[in-house]
Amino acid sequence: MLCVTIARTRHKHVLTEHAQVAELGAKLVELRLDYIGRSIDLARLLKNRPTPVVVTCRRKEDGGRWDRSEEERLMLLRSAIAMGIEYVDLEEDTAVKIPRYGKTKRIVSLHNFEGTPPDLETLHAGLCKIDADIVKIAAFSNSFRDTARMLQLMKTAKVPTVGISMGGFGTPTRVLAMRYGAPFTFCVFNADRRVAPGQLSFDQMQNVYRANTITSETKLYGVVADPVAHSYSPLIHNASFLANNLDYRYVPFQVAPADLEMFLRWCQSERIGGLSVTIPHKQTILPMLSQAESAAQGIGACNTVVFSEGEMIGYNTDYRASMDCLSEAMSKLTGLPDPFERQSALILGSGGVSRAIAYGLAQRRAWITIASRNRESAEKLAKHVNGKSIAWEERHLIEPKIIVNGTPVGMFPEMDESPFPARSFKSGTLVFDTIYNPEQTLFIKGARAAQCPVITGLQMFVRQAAYQYRLFTGLEPPIDVMVKTLKKAISPVNYKDLDEDDDEIDTDVEFDGED
């Protein structure tokens, strides 16, 4: 069950929001009385309430906004209980002062906005002893290790427990709470009105993750990165799972480099089905795997892991997707059976996606030039693909047949930048941007203005996700769903019926074997 937190300063806004979330399907609402700025009228808030409620009045020292007297706060909580509320949230010292009364269930809670206590289990045991129907512990997570501990606490608790790891590392504790035994978990009606770090919106929890229906039987997948909140992969994979009626979910996992190996062991123990891998883990994850396809080994980077029968198998779908996009475009441009042979390609950047594209082009006998702001990294990549490197400042001095942007320059929110001077584009050069948000980057706009054929990052992103979907499920991906979901997320203002645009990305994606 999802509990939607309402934290508004005026009674009428609380009532309006309560009615709205109830209409959208919420079954439980938390009323944050400490946010109300005026004298609190409990009867007005509770009379004819459209859902059961949790009443909370949090002091400043516990992360709330209550700045009036403690006596007034305790009286408010006692009055709410006497009026027959369904749940009351009581901090440890408050729970000792307010005895059980009537049918109101007691949530005994602890909050730590600094970190996850080392004695988490001991603290939990203490809260359980204060006549708790439910224990709630919300602690800031400074690593995935903290998150894993909180999930384990919920899983093994004898008293129903809502464990929340606050912050970016803790998202799995919110999405997977019910899978690990929590009676409910918290979210907010509007993501712009979060009351704790890392809270997700009701829409995200209900419509993206379908958190209410995640069980021990649900197959889990995810994306591992640091940071990870910006990723659109959960949107398109979860929409695709739903389109094919699969009881699968795709979760964002923020994992620091130092914890990557531990995280992979956790994935195996928790029966995670597969992972998308992105910055900064694409290269460092490779030696941690049981095996990897030849392309991933040749590239030296992996962006997909499948867990199967105790093995961790690595793939590089960036490589496959980028070569699909480039091969189609170059075949149209040249009409040759080997469209890349002896063609010059300038690759901007030397990270994971640049490595994949450089490897693919080198395999197809193109002439590779690497330009990166990290000259040492550029030289290493150039040597790896038998190409050459040039200084970043000289990137506009050559005239290649293909230009690929593998840098984040121009990515949201820094959309007023381009990795290549618009005046230096030459008509007829194939220009490929791997950035998908925004789809029409300044780099792509400059190329179009110079009458260059272009490949957008959205085309590549959807193709690589489609390959991942096939590896994860063994099924054909619903590419139309992927395209529309991504376009709606990137540009909701401009989103409309996209049926007429479906031909922008070939929906007949073929899944070839290894090259």
Residue 52 tokens, joined: 């059961």
Torsion sign (Cα): 143, 146, 150, 153: positive
Alpha-carbon gap, residue 45 to 15, rounded angstroms: 7
Looking at this protein, which amino acid is placed at residue 161?
Answer: T
Strand partners, 248: 219
The total of other beta-carbon atoms located within 10 Å of residue 38's CB is 8
Three-state DSSP at 28 gives: strand
Helices (H), 450-492: 457-473, 479-490
Question: Regarding beta strands 161-166 and 134-140, do their DSSP bridges make them parallel or antiparallel, or are they unpaired?
Answer: parallel
Q: Of residues 47, 105, 282, 445, which has the active-site annotation? A: 282
282 is catalytic: yes
Helix (H) or strand (E) segment spanning residue 45: helix 42-46
Computed on alpha carbons and rounded to an integer, the radius of gyration of the chain in Å comes to: 26
Is-contact 515 295, C-beta < 8 A?
yes
Q: Cα-flanking dihedrals φ and ψ of residue 189, to 5°? A: -65, -40
The owner of tokens 């990723």 is 231
Class of residue 190 by CB neighbours under 10 A (exposed 0-12, middle 13-18, buried 19+): middle
d(CA 303, CA 319): 9
| Count of residues making up the chain | 515
Token pair in block for residue 451: 């009458």
φ, ψ for residue 85 (rounded to 5)?
-65, 155
Is beta strand 105-112 parallel, antiparallel or unpaired with respect to 388-390? Answer: unpaired
Question: Could you tell me which residues are beta bridge partners of residue 137?
Answer: 110, 163
Indicate the residue type of 83. M
Find tokens 């409620």 and name the residue: 53
**Do the beta carbons of residue 139 and residue 115 sit within 8 Å?**
yes
Burial zone of 151 (CB within 10 Å; 0-12 exposed, 13-18 middle, 19+ buried): buried
**Helices H, strands E: what count in the chain?**
17, 20
Contact 337, 365 (CB under 8 A): no
Helix (H) or strand (E) holding 412: none
As a whole number of angstroms, the distance between CA 324 and CA 515 comes to: 12
Q: Which two tokens stand for residue 464?
A: 């690589």
Query: What positions carry a catalytic annotation?
Result: 282
